[in-house]
Amino acid sequence: MRSLTEEETKTLFTKLAQYIGRNITHLIDRPDDPHCFRLQKDRNPVNNSERIMKVATAVARANLLSLGTCIGKFTKSGKFKIHITALDVISPYAKYKIWVKPNGEMPFLYGNHILKAHIGRISDDTPEHQGVVIYNMNDSPLGIGVTARSTADSRKIEPTAIAAFHQADVGEYLRDEDTLF
C-alpha cells in the first residue's frame, strides 16, 4: 500500500465531490479517529483509519490481503470509477438524495435506470448531472446514480422518462462478486 499521488488524489476527490460536495473533509478529518486514503494493488484506493494503518505495518505485505474500505478503482487511462463498496462511506454525507418507491427498487437493483414514476422523493434544488445516493422509502441506501434532469425539470417530464442514471447498486454484490474486489 502506498499513498496516493497528487494527481490521483485530485481525481479521487473530484469524483467524490460529485456525490458529497464539500463534505469530503468529514471523510478524513474525523474528530474521533482521523482517516486516510491509500492505494492498494496499484489501482484500488481504500479509506481506513490511521490508527489501524499503523497497526497494519506489523503485518508483512505478502500476508496482508485487504485493509479498509475499497472506494473504487483507477482505470488504465487515469480516470476513477466508483464502486458500490463506497456506499457506506458516501451515504452519510450525501448532499443530494433520491428516494425510490417500492415498485422501483427491484428494477434499480437489477441495474436499470430510475424512471420518474419510481421516484418517491428527491432533494430540493438537485442540479442536472449531479451524483446522488439512491435510498428506498425506509432510508436504506440502495446505490448511487447521476441525475438526468434537475429537480424542477423532473417534475415536468412524463412518467416513463429517465430521471436518474444507474451507476452502482447493492445488487452488484451478487452479480459481480467475482470481480468486485
Q: Which CATH code of 3.30.360.10, 3.40.50.2300, 3.40.50.300, 2.30.130.10 fits the domain covering 96-175?
A: 2.30.130.10
**H helix or E strand, kind and range, residue 11:** helix 6-20
Sequence-distant (≥ 6) Cβ neighbours of residue 49 within 8 angstroms: 33, 34, 35, 68
Any idea which of 28-32, 86-90, 91-95, 113-117 has the lowest mean pLDDT? 28-32
Q: How many residues does the chain have?
A: 181
The topology under which CATH files domain 2-90 is Nuclear Transport Factor 2; Chain: A, (3.10.450)
Write down the pLDDT at residue 61. Answer: 76
| Phi, psi (degrees; rounded to nearest 5) at 167 | -115, -50
Distance CA 65, CA 141 (A): 27
Q: Do residues 81 and 72 make contact, with C-beta atoms less than 8 angstroms apart?
A: yes
Write down the pLDDT at residue 42. Answer: 63
Residue 181 in this model has a pLDDT that exceeds 60: no
Question: CA-CA-CA-CA torsion for 81, 22, 127, 131, nearest 10 degrees?
Answer: 20
Write down the pLDDT at residue 97. Answer: 94
Write down the pLDDT at residue 121. Answer: 92
Write down the pLDDT at residue 98. Answer: 94
Q: What average pLDDT does range 15-42 have in this prediction?
A: 80
Q: What average pLDDT does range 74-100 have in this prediction?
A: 89
pLDDT tens digits along 93-103? 899 999 999 99
Q: What average pLDDT does range 40-49 have in this prediction?
A: 73
Write down the pLDDT at residue 180. Answer: 60
Domain ranges of the chain: 2-90, 96-175
CA-wise closest residue to 87 among 4, 168, 181, 6: 168
Write down the pLDDT at residue 114. Answer: 94
In percent, how much of the chain has pLDDT > 70? 96
Write down the pLDDT at residue 68. Answer: 78
Sequence-distant (≥ 6) Cβ neighbours of residue 60 within 8 angstroms: none
Residue 99 or 42, more confident: 99
What does the block give as the cell for 150?
434537475
Do 2-90 and 96-175 fold alike per CATH? no
Write down the pLDDT at residue 145. Answer: 94
Residue 139 or 9, more confident: 139
| Phi, psi (degrees; rounded to nearest 5) at 138 | -95, 15
What does the block give as the cell for 45?
484506493
Residue 106 in this model has a pLDDT that exceeds 90: yes
Give the count of alpha carbons within 13 A of 38, CB side only. 18
CA-wise closest residue to 166 among 89, 121, 104: 104
